[in-house]
């Protein structure tokens, strides 16, 4: 059986190689989410086809292709356990697209492949919309269209439409690329106008697959200190803040997120059946109110963040009984909200929930030395100051500060009795360990307490004054209830002495938390420059997020308000859109059709004048007659003006077919006028 | 009057078949070039629609932008495709006479007076024989149009279509072109026939054959239709190749091809046979004359003479012939 097609006659199609290059560019960003095997398979299929184009190898026949397809589908099912949804669907699309490369028989397949490649670019944007990806895709677009032009230029050859030899200019691919680039450049103004003015619809039109949005966050709805041995170092942006009032000090920058109060001995959770929504704020704000706007990156959960403690609620959000702000629907796209907070406050406990639950601990036999929390109970007997909870808290914090506790991002794992193991054996951990053990100790002394997670700190970008919170800024702290002082924030991690930090990165990160000037920074010129560049890049990214990715219905309205058209309606938008598009189209027509040379018009104009003069003498140039032939004929009839006619004809031919010069045109004009 | 021009302007016929024969050069003005999306263009539009729906559904900003960019690109390509044909000066065609049912190639001048290159300009006739060409800026090129003519005579050049899908193939711009030129089509030569040995001027012919041998010029290889008497049998015996004796005397080879000598019935068939005879006689380098019911061409040789004779056959008018039939 013939499984491999025969080699084609030597006829390398540069356009095919360009198409493969474009395809590679489209595939590149997909590799970050495709399984490794599929990345390798798609790349090697593209390379295979390229080798075939260069006549280095053969391509598989129909039967092998069919087997490949089956293997691809099986592989995807094994990797994703499904064939539908965003992730599996895109994997399948890309795999089949690369297999389609071996079915190119005519121009039709080429156009299908290019359409699929364009679709893959959109799929790309579902995973990643960064500036880098956007520009790579713009380049991919130019390359794909270069290939299309190349095929279009020679397409008759490809599809064997004609039995006749075709005469084409050997035009370089560079020319095709220039044309593709030029056309893209001409299209961009239209696209920008459409982008700004096209009426935006909010929300999905129908239900999206479950994996439609994915995002990493440094937070989770449960916390199990010691179960995970490494703290994420993810520096991706969690949210950005723009302060309308003074920026609070670093020690006030606690961004409140999920609150957990249920402890089973290993993990902290916030049981999700709690559906109490607080509509009004029952706390007393002290001091100045801080006003700011948060731009939250999508993270696919309900959480929203605010500076501890928010005094207003944005639209479509609610508060839980633990004063956690929650969105009414998962945050699946960039979310912007204005909000204000008091950084100093007195927060009474929520009246409808008893304080009992903030004291609960797993049931254990307290007398057995092997039992859970046995050592902790022993410790608390020493540290507890009856009747003075504040003193007890200070004693516990002091214990952390003096008993050789270390801050470590890679602490040892904890097993059966995590709190005791941490407090008396390993003594190494990060915020979760400290917050968890502190809260347990508080409950053992009878002080109601809970865990608050969120973000701490934030970096102000001096270029655009936006503050950036990253996933690596994720933090956990405690809240204790002190009677009339209400819920008070205690950050046990901050009690660790700066010297007890295991590596410098942590020191830098914790610098703000520890409230002490650190000498660990080496502020050399280079690091300053790096920092500056980092800020610049971050500011660009922020603009991108704010104005490109976050451009929605609201932003559109805000934009038109800013340029002086408040309350623009759907109809108004369309009218404006169409009139702007009409203007752009007229401009485009002007640019494209103005290629008709003015020079040619001038030359022809004078030559026509010359012909008109001759017509008076009954000498008419026939259509089929060339200028030279006509000249000969005229000279026979009018031998007197031989030299003038010859000169005019020569100038005409030179201007028209050889080299144009203003001088010659002037000469030409004068000669005709005086003729 | 106004109404008439209005009607002419929006005549749907122009869209499908063009404006009819026009003097050359035929300039592809805005009114003469049409543009519509191709099947590939429609598929692209469908893709854009899906992309738009997807972008709305996922509220994906870059998805929106890409969709808009591609849509804009297809608007831009309308102009580029259209401009690829616009203001081309087409024609005149250079057409050499052909025999009926032979493939006629006429070369059409295409003049690009603009400062931009034209790419992949295709041309095809209603018979769908297509060619493509590129034309550099400010230069003259030719397209070869191929066509089969079935009838003899002065036939108007067929309508052909100039089209372009460059650069992306999403749109096809086209213009129907027809020149007011005609093509001279000779009758189709009949396939199997030999020269009449007994020609009309029998006495003269006898004389030719008798005296012709005196002015022997040389030998040349045998061609179909050479008279048997002229074959050089000696060389055939020696080399087994047929050689024909050539005679320098013009009068000696004089041959009359007469309408009345044709062995078939029917005007067109008779003309076909005469056409073949003319070709054979020309090949045999004979001096031949043509005697038609309504015209007589004196014996002569050479290309011009052949063309004149063929033209007479091509333009032979059988109605005219009918009136002269009686005199013969």
- Mean pLDDT computed over every residue of chain B: 80
pLDDT band at B5 (very low <50, low <70, confident <90, very high): low
Q: Which two tokens stand for residue A619?
A: 């000498």
**Which DSSP letter does residue A657 get?**
I
Last residue of a domain, one of A146, A166, A186: A166
Q: Which two tokens stand for residue B224?
A: 């179909």
pLDDT in tens, A470-517: 887 888 899 999 888 888 999 988 888 877 776 555 555 554 444 333
Task: Confirm whether A298 is domain-assigned.
Answer: yes
Q: What is the pLDDT of residue B174?
A: 93
Q: What is the pLDDT of residue B203?
A: 40
Strand order in the sheet with A284-296: A335-346, A284-296, A237-243, A466-470, A459-460
pLDDT band at B106 (very low <50, low <70, confident <90, very high): confident
pLDDT at A145 over 90: yes
Q: What is the pLDDT of residue B250?
A: 45
Residue A104 and residue A112: Cα distance in Å, rounded?
10
Which segment, A192-196, A386-390, A625-629, is predicted with the most confidence on average?
A192-196
Reported in sequence order, the residue ranges of B38-129 that DSSP labels E, i.e. its strands, are 89-94, 98-99, 103-112, 118-124
Q: Answer whether B69 sits within 8 Å of A145, measured CB to CB.
A: no
Q: Which two tokens stand for residue A260?
A: 């957990």
Residue A620 and residue A616: Cα distance in Å, rounded?
9
Of A148, A162, A332, which has the smallest distance from its Cβ to B168's Cβ? Answer: A148
Q: Answer whether A195 sits within 8 Å of B114, measured CB to CB.
A: no
pLDDT in tens, B158-201: 888 999 998 899 999 999 999 888 889 999 998 877 777 644 44
Q: How many domains does chain A have?
A: 3
By C-alpha distance, which of A539, A517, A515, A535 is closest to A527? A535
Q: What is the pLDDT of residue B259?
A: 86
Task: Confirm whether A135 is domain-assigned.
Answer: yes
Last residue of a domain, one of A166, A184, A205: A166
Residue A20 and residue A47: Cα distance in Å, rounded?
8
Of A121, A153, A204, which has the smallest distance from its Cβ to B120's Cβ? Answer: A153
Q: Answer whether A183 sits within 8 Å of B76, measured CB to CB.
A: yes
Q: Indicate whether A372 and A509 sit together in one domain.
A: yes
Q: Indicate whether A160 and A248 sit together in one domain.
A: no
- Mean pLDDT computed over every residue of chain A: 81
Q: Which two tokens stand for residue A96?
A: 């089949």
By C-alpha distance, which of A137, A155, A153, A149 is closest to A182? A149
Q: How remote is the C-alpha of A31 from its chain's centroid?
A: 15
**Is residue A137 within 8 Å of residue A41, measured between CB atoms?**
no
pLDDT at A73 over 80: yes
Partnered with residue B258 across adjacent β-strands are B291
Q: Which domain holds residue A146?
A: 14-166
Residue A600 and residue B137: Cα distance in Å, rounded?
12
Q: What is the pLDDT of residue A46?
A: 95
pLDDT band at A216 (very low <50, low <70, confident <90, very high): low
Is residue A673 exposed (0-12), middle (13-18) or buried (19+ Cβ within 10 Å)? exposed
Q: What is the pLDDT of residue A519?
A: 40
Summarize the confidence of residues A277-292 as an average pLDDT.
78
**pLDDT: which is higher, A623 or A493:** A493
The nearest alpha carbon in chain B to A195 belongs to B65
Partnered with residue A11 across adjacent β-strands are none
| Crossing angle (nearest 10°) for helices A14-27 and A131-153 | 160
Pairing of strands B288-291, B255-258: parallel
Contacts of A657 in chain B (CB under 8 A): 138
Last residue of a domain, one of A470, A497, A514: A514
In the three-class reduction of DSSP (H, G, I as helix; E, B as strand; rest coil), residue A400 is classed as helix
pLDDT band at A133 (very low <50, low <70, confident <90, very high): very high
Q: Answer whether A169 sits within 8 Å of B119, measured CB to CB.
A: yes
Q: Answer whether A190 sits within 8 Å of B40, measured CB to CB.
A: no
**pLDDT: which is higher, B127 or A307:** A307
In the three-class reduction of DSSP (H, G, I as helix; E, B as strand; rest coil), residue B301 is classed as coil
In the three-class reduction of DSSP (H, G, I as helix; E, B as strand; rest coil), residue A312 is classed as coil
The residue of B47, B64, B72 whose CB has the most chain A CBs within 10 angstroms, and thus the best one to mutate to test that interface, is B72
pLDDT band at B150 (very low <50, low <70, confident <90, very high): confident
**pLDDT: which is higher, A494 or B62:** B62
Q: What are phi and psi of A336, to 5 degrees?
A: -120, 130
Q: What are phi and psi of A505, to 5 degrees?
A: -55, -45
**Is residue A340 within 8 Å of residue A291, measured between CB atoms?**
yes
Return the sign of the alpha-carbon dihedral for residues B281, B286, B287, B291. negative
Q: What is the pLDDT of residue A465?
A: 81
**pLDDT: which is higher, A609 or A5:** A609
Residue A398 and residue A447: Cα distance in Å, rounded?
17
**Is residue B151 within 8 Å of residue B185, measured between CB atoms?**
yes
The helices-and-strands tally (H runs, E runs) of chain B is 9, 17
pLDDT at A518 over 80: no
Contacts of B70 in chain A (CB under 8 A): 118
Q: Indicate whether A339 and A453 sit together in one domain.
A: yes
Q: Which two tokens stand for residue B191?
A: 């396939």
Q: What is the pLDDT of residue A666?
A: 83
Q: What is the pLDDT of residue A658?
A: 66
Of A126, A129, A600, which has the smallest distance from its Cβ to B113's Cβ? Answer: A600
Q: What is the pLDDT of residue B300?
A: 86
Query: What torsion, rounded to 10 degrees, do the Cα atoms A662, A664, A666, A669 define?
Result: -130
pLDDT band at A600 (very low <50, low <70, confident <90, very high): low
In the three-class reduction of DSSP (H, G, I as helix; E, B as strand; rest coil), residue A550 is classed as coil
CB contact set of B310 (below 8 Å; sequence gap of 6+): B97, B186, B275, B278
pLDDT band at A76 (very low <50, low <70, confident <90, very high): very high
Q: What are phi and psi of A386, to 5 degrees?
A: -60, 140
pLDDT at B252 over 90: no
Q: What is the pLDDT of residue B72?
A: 96
Q: What is the pLDDT of residue A74?
A: 95
pLDDT at B249 over 50: no
pLDDT at A642 over 90: no
pLDDT band at B129 (very low <50, low <70, confident <90, very high): low
The helices-and-strands tally (H runs, E runs) of chain A is 20, 17
At residue A154's C-alpha, the angle toward residues A153 and A158, to 5°, is 145
pLDDT at B16 over 90: no
Residue A66 and residue A511: Cα distance in Å, rounded?
60
Task: Confirm whether A115 is domain-assigned.
Answer: yes
Look at A179-188, A490-499, B48-57, B203-212 and tell me which has the smallest mean pLDDT. B203-212
Residue A292 and residue A130: Cα distance in Å, rounded?
25
Which segment, A320-324, B68-72, B308-312, is predicted with the most confidence on average?
B68-72
Q: Which two tokens stand for residue A204?
A: 């999905």
Write the ipTM: 0.76
Of A145, A187, A597, which has the smallest distance from its Cβ to B114's Cβ? Answer: A597
**Is residue A327 within 8 Å of residue A313, measured between CB atoms?**
no
Of B65, B122, B129, which has the smallest distance from its Cβ to A191's Cβ? Answer: B65
Which segment, A290-294, A401-405, A567-571, B24-28, is predicted with the most confidence on average?
A290-294
pLDDT in tens, A359-371: 888 876 666 777 7
By C-alpha distance, which of B104, B98, B92, B95 is closest to B147? B104
pLDDT in tens, B197-224: 644 444 444 444 444 444 566 676 766 6
Q: How far from B52 is each of A41, A298, B42, B43, B68, CA to CA, in Å? A: 30, 21, 15, 14, 8
Q: What ranges in A459-562 are assigned the alpha helix state H?
A: 504-514, 525-543, 553-562
pTM of the model: 0.69
Contacts of B120 in chain A (CB under 8 A): 152-153, 155-156, 168
pLDDT band at B284 (very low <50, low <70, confident <90, very high): confident
Q: Indicate whether A375 and A259 sit together in one domain.
A: yes
The nearest alpha carbon in chain A to B114 belongs to A596
In which residue are the tokens 């639950």 written?
A357
Size of interface A-B (CB pairs under 8 A): 189
Contacts of A202 in chain B (CB under 8 A): 59
Residue B270 and residue B263: Cα distance in Å, rounded?
8
**Is residue A435 within 8 Å of residue A254, measured between CB atoms?**
no
Contacts of A148 in chain B (CB under 8 A): 167-169
Contacts of A119 in chain B (CB under 8 A): 47, 50-51
Residue A288 and residue A311: Cα distance in Å, rounded?
12
Q: What is the pLDDT of residue B218?
A: 66
pLDDT in tens, A417-433: 888 888 888 888 888 88
Q: What is the pLDDT of residue A181?
A: 94
pLDDT at A167 over 70: no
DSSP string, B21-43: -BPSSEE--TTT-EEEE-HHHHH
pLDDT at A161 over 80: no
Q: Indicate whether A241 and A364 sit together in one domain.
A: yes
Residue B243 and residue B1: Cα distance in Å, rounded?
73
Q: Indicate whether A488 and A630 sit together in one domain.
A: no
Residue B245 and residue A351: Cα distance in Å, rounded?
132
Share of chain A above pLDDT 70, in %: 84
Residue B206 and residue A438: Cα distance in Å, rounded?
138
**pLDDT: which is higher, A400 or A282:** A400
pLDDT at A157 over 50: no
């Amino acid at each position: 059986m013939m499984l491999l097609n025969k080699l084609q006659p030597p006829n390398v199609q540069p356009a095919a190689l360009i198409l493969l290059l474009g395809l590679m560019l489209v595939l590149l960003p997909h590799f970050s989410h495709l399984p490794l095997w599929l990345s390798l398979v798609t790349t090697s299929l593209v390379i295979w086809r390229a080798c075939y184009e260069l006549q280095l190898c053969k391509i598989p026949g129909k039967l092998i292709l069919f087997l490949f397809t089956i293997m691809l589908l099986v592989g995807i099912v094994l990797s994703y356990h499904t064939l539908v949804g965003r992730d599996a669907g895109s994997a399948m699309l890309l795999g089949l697209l690369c297999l389609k490369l071996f079915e190119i028989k005519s121009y039709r397949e080429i156009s299908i492949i290019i359409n699929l490649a364009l679709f893959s670019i959109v799929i790309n944007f579902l995973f990643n919309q960064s500036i880098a990806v956007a520009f790579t895709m713009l380049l991919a677009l130019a390359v794909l269209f270069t290939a299309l032009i190349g095929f279009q230029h020679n397409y008759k050859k490809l599809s064997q439409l004609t039995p006749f030899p075709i005469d084409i200019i050997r035009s370089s691919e560079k020319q095709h690329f220039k044309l593709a680039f030029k056309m893209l450049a001409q299209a961009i103004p239209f696209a920008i106008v459409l982008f700004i003015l096209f009426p935006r619809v909010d929300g999905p039109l129908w239900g999206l697959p479950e994996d439609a949005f994915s995002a990493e966050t440094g937070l989770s709805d449960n916390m199990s200190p010691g179960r995970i041995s490494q703290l994420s170092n993810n520096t991706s942006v969690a949210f950005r803040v723009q302060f309308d009032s003074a920026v609070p000090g670093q020690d006030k920058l606690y961004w409140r997120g999920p609150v957990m109060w249920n402890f089973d001995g290993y993990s902290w959770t916030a049981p999700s059946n709690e559906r109490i929504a607080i509509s009004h704020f029952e706390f007393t704000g002290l001091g100045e109110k801080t006003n700011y706007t948060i731009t939250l990156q999508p993270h696919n959960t309900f959480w929203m963040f605010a500076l501890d403690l928010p005094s207003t609620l944005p639209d479509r959000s609610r508060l839980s009984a633990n004063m956690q702000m929650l969105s009414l629907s998962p945050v699946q796209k960039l979310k912007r909200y204005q909000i204000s907070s008091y950084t100093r406050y007195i927060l009474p406990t929520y009246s409808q929930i008893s304080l009992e639950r903030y004291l609960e601990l797993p049931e254990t036999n307290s007398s057995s030395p092997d039992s859970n929390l046995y050592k902790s109970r022993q410790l608390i007997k020493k540290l507890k100051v009856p009747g003075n909870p504040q003193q007890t808290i200070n004693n516990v914090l002091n214990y952390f500060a003096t008993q050789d506790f270390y801050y470590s991002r890679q602490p040892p794992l904890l097993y059966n009795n995590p709190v005791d193991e941490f407090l008396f054996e390993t003594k190494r951990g990060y915020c979760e360990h400290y917050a968890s053990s502190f809260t347990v100790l508080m409950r053992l002394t009878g002080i109601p307490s809970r865990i608050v997670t969120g973000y701490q700190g934030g970096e102000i970008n001096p270029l655009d004054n936006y503050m950036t919170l990253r996933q690596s800024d994720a933090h956990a702290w405690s809240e204790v209830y002190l009677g009339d002082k209400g819920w008070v924030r205690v950050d046990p991690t901050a009690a660790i002495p700066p010297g007890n930090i295991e590596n410098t990165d942590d020191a830098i990160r914790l610098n703000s938390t520890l409230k002490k000037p650190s000498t660990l920074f080496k502020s050399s010129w280079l690091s300053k420059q790096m920092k500056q560049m980092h800020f610049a890049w971050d500011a660009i990214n922020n603009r991108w997020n704010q104005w490109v990715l976050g451009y929605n219905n609201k932003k559109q309205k805000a934009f038109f308000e800013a340029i002086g058209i408040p309350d623009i309606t759907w109809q108004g938008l369309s009218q404006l859109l169409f009139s702007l598009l009409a203007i752009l189209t007229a401009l485009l027509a002007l640019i494209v059709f103005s290629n008709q040379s003015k020079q040619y018009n001038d030359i022809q104009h004078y030559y026509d004048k010359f012909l008109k003069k001759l017509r008076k003498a009954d000498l008419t140039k026939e259509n089929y007659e060339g200028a030279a032939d006509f000249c000969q004929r005229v000279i026979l009839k009018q031998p007197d003006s031989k030299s003038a006619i010859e000169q005019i004809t020569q100038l005409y031919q030179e201007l028209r077919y050889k080299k144009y010069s203003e001088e010659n045109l002037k000469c030409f004009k004068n000669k005709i006028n005086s003729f | 009057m106004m109404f008439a021009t209005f009607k002419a302007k929006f005549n749907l016929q122009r869209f499908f078949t063009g404006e009819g024969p026009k003097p050359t050069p035929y300039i592809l003005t805005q009114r003469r070039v049409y543009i519509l999306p191709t099947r590939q263009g429609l598929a692209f539009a469908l893709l854009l629609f899906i992309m738009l729906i997807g972008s709305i559904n996922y509220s994906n900003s870059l998805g929106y932008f890409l969709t808009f960019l591609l849509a804009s690109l297809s608007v831009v390509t309308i102009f580029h495709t259209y401009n690829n044909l616009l203001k081309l000066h087409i024609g005149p065609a250079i057409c050499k006479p052909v025999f009926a049912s032979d493939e006629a190639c006429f070369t059409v001048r295409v003049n690009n007076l603009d400062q931009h290159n034209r790419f992949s300009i295709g041309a095809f006739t209603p018979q769908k024989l297509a060619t493509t060409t590129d034309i550099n800026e400010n230069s003259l090129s030719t397209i070869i149009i191929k066509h089969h003519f079935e009838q003899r005579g002065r036939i108007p050049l067929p309508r052909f279509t100039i089209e372009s899908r460059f650069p992306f193939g999403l749109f096809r711009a086209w213009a129907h072109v027809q020149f007011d030129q005609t093509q001279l089509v000779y009758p189709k030569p009949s396939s199997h026939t030999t020269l009449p040995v007994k020609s009309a001027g029998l006495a003269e012919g006898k004389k030719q054959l008798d005296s012709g041998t005196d002015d022997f010029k040389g030998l040349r290889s045998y061609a179909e239709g050479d008279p048997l008497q002229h074959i050089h049998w000696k060389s055939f015996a020696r080399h087994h190749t047929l050689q024909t004796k050539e005679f320098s005397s013009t009068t000696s080879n004089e041959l009359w091809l007469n309408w009345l000598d044709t062995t078939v019935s029917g005007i067109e068939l008779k003309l076909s046979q005469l056409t073949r005879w003319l070709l054979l006689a020309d090949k045999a380098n004979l001096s031949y004359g043509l005697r038609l019911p309504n015209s007589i061409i004196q014996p002569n040789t050479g290309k011009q003479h052949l063309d004149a004779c063929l033209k007479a056959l091509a333009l032979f008018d059988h109605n005219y012939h009918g009136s002269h039939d009686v005199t013969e």
